[in-house]
Amino acid sequence: MTTVVMVALDKDLLEQMLLESALTVAGIFDPGVVESVLGVPPLGGDAEWAGWAARYPEVKALLAADPPLLRLRLAATYGPGRLAGFRSPLARLSPQACIGADAVIQADVFVSAGVVVGSLCKLNVGAALHHDVRLGDCCTVAPGARLLGRVSVGNGVYVGAGAMVLPNLSVGDGATIGAGAVVTSDVPAGATVAGVPARPLPERVS
């Protein structure tokens, strides 16, 4: 049985891990967690990991944070070689899909044939990736979002809850798609789009 720690609290994910998998969750690294959650104790913040990891070299870290840039930073702190993935047995994953070993796949996720999911990705509850979708590294697909056939997504992309990307489109590196958006044209790298149909949001002036 594999023992892991959760990095950044995701209560939905934690409950799935406790109920559905053979993983043992030893604790939670999150400075905002000061008491046990679902019976799992807090272990402090990122600074405590190095000493804890040295004492328990067999334990792996599972990244539960949603923001792609945060996941990337946490991967540098808690990895390499110490990161665990999770695949809910309640997810429907095609045997013809290629999914990164450290990906987090939650309950009711649908991944179809020909899909490629990169490393450090997180697919939240009810997300759907239809045939031949290509998802880059360190992406997050929020609950209920849907990427239709042959969509190509770059690295570090966030797809908001309930969003839909229509077939044959591309989404550039570092883009953000707002919750509930319907994407009907390609999204440039670094852009934030929202609405139905999705349109770029104006850049903030600092």
Contacts of 114 (CB under 8 A, 6+ apart): 94, 96, 97, 131, 132, 133
Measured CA to CA in angstroms, residue 84 lies from 64, 102, 202 at distances of 11, 5, 38
Query: Which stretches does DSSP call E strand in 8-144?
Result: 24-29, 42-44, 60-63, 86-87, 92-93, 98-99, 104-105, 110-111, 116-117, 122-123, 128-129, 134-135, 140-141
Residue 131 catalytic? yes
> Of the listed 43, 72, 94, 131, which one is catalytic?
131
- How many CB atoms sit inside 10 A of residue 185's CB? 12
Q: Which helix (H) or strand (E) holds 13?
A: helix 11-20
The catalytic residue positions are: 131
